[in-house]
Copies of this chain bind each other. A is one copy, B any other.
């Protein structure tokens, strides 16, 4: 059942003993939402605990500043920024019993008893700001830091096309509430491990161009990753955006070895090319500007196939 902001606030006010679910491979938006809500509920004198199926990277530690550890048997389940219970890993069954979901994904499967959805919002944190305001919650520095993190990370720090005027208005309000934007943005967008620097160097070194420079490709092989200690899956995933940053490139490809003989291609494109079609032709999928597909073959064969399909797409678009 879809509900509105005031109904979500009324639900939160009239229940207790909350288990808040945040999605696997946690990002700034699900964590910001979860910890902001947990902090707010505890301040209202309720018991609440925010949990995630995966380990939470240390750079998000500051979000827990306002949360106290509480042991209790939960009675009410709220999922935040979780479009599908498949995204809850080994907490999927708990997610299937969710009483309330607060989300912004158009792909939300409506698994929860009650769904507050704003699919045109850039972040779930933008929506949570409105829920907490409707609850009469005081947005202090700690909660503002949580919510700002989601607003900033889901928009690439206000860079992406999902940013709306309202996104900036909410950011302004969170700053007025004390959000410490400079250290947060440094931790989210600038900070890299020494390993990440080595990985970037390797990826830049192996950059290859095809199709008169309209295609750029980087490669991440298993032995490269094995040779670098302090990198995580976020670091590897971030390599996918590098080729498309290059002037003149319409199709950026990141080819990653998943296991010997299995390769995953991540595709990024300019507005002139729909890479979801290329991915679909190899059994993959995604969006027009970002898609992916897999290859079970040798590395050279995988490269040949994806490059040929990309060249065909460039020709069809009249680019080469």
Which of A4-12, A107-115, A155-163 is found at the contact surface with chain B? A155-163
Specify which chain B residues have a CB less than 8 angstroms from the CB of A120 in the assembled complex: none
Specify which chain B residues have a CB less than 8 angstroms from the CB of A189 in the assembled complex: 159
Within 8 A of B (CB), among A196-249: 197-198, 200-201, 204-205, 207, 209, 213, 244-248
Minimum CB–CB distance from A69 to chain B (whole Å) comes to 27
Q: Could you tell me the distance between the alpha carbons of A167 and B158 in the complex, rounded to whole angstroms? A: 12
A75 proximal to B (CB < 8 A): no
Q: Could you tell me the distance between the alpha carbons of A158 and B194 in the complex, rounded to whole angstroms? A: 26
Q: Could you tell me the distance between the alpha carbons of A245 and B176 in the complex, rounded to whole angstroms? A: 27
CB closest chain-B residue, reference A207: B197
CB closest chain-B residue, reference A241: B190
Q: Could you tell me the distance between the alpha carbons of A225 and B172 in the complex, rounded to whole angstroms? A: 42
A1 proximal to B (CB < 8 A): no
A258 proximal to B (CB < 8 A): no
A192 proximal to B (CB < 8 A): yes
Minimum CB–CB distance from A172 to chain B (whole Å) comes to 4
Given contacts A165-B175, A172-B169, A201-B205, contact A246 B159 (CB under 8 A): no
Contact (Cβ within 8 A) B157 A194? no
Contact (Cβ within 8 A) A157 B160? no
Specify which chain B residues have a CB less than 8 angstroms from the CB of A15 in the assembled complex: none
A193 proximal to B (CB < 8 A): yes
Contact (Cβ within 8 A) A204 B207? no
CB closest chain-B residue, reference A190: B245
A173 proximal to B (CB < 8 A): yes
Contact (Cβ within 8 A) B163 A193? no
Q: Could you tell me the distance between the alpha carbons of A200 and B205 in the complex, rounded to whole angstroms? A: 10
21 contacts across the A-B interface (CB closer than 8 A): A156-B185, A157-B158, A158-B158, A158-B181, A159-B181, A159-B185, A159-B189, A159-B190, A161-B181, A165-B172, A168-B169, A168-B171, A169-B172, A191-B247, A194-B209, A194-B213, A194-B247, A197-B204, A201-B201, A201-B205, A201-B207
